[in-house]
Amino acid sequence: MQGMCHQLLQILQNPRNHKSYAAYQAYQRMYADMELVEVNGQQRIQCQYTYREPIEEKFAPQNSNMDEALKATNGVIQRLLKIGKLDEFNLQIKDMENMGTIQRLTEQEVKDLQNKIIISIS
């Protein structure tokens, strides 16, 4: 983990690795806000991220892209089925869940999100 962190930090610090000076500056801010933390006995990189817009507005229910995300997800699933890679994809998703990178929502959490979207649009 230490080697990977060191490698990531080197990439972030090198201006040639970025397409623009603005991207370089953004990565520098991210680098400055990074810290190595321990979670459940494992080291993790934690980073604060500054949004351009207030989070409450950016991720407000009325700004949801859930329909587009579902369409895109279904398209990915269909392509994976077609090429026989869905099982491999599911294993990768499971690995990310186990690492804590992503978290599966319960059916109730999904329903709650859908209700918030419907109420805020009405």
Residue with tokens 């869940």: 97
Predicted pLDDT at 51? 75
Predicted pLDDT at 80? 96
Domain locations in the chain as residue ranges? 2-47, 61-121
Task: Round to the nearest angstrom and report the end-to-end CA distance of the chain.
Answer: 48
Tens digits of pLDDT across the chain (122 residues): 455 566 666 666 666 665 777 777 777 787 888 888 888 898 888 887 777 788 788 878 778 888 888 899 999 999 999 999 999 999 999 999 998 888 998 999 888 877 776 555 54
Enter the tokens of residue 49.
Answer: 């991220």
Report the distance separating Cα 107 and Cα 91, nearest Å: 21
Predicted pLDDT at 87? 96
Predicted pLDDT at 5? 61
Phi, psi of 43 (to 5 degrees): -80, 140
Predicted pLDDT at 113? 77
CB 44 within 8 A of CB 38: yes
Residue with tokens 């507005």: 57
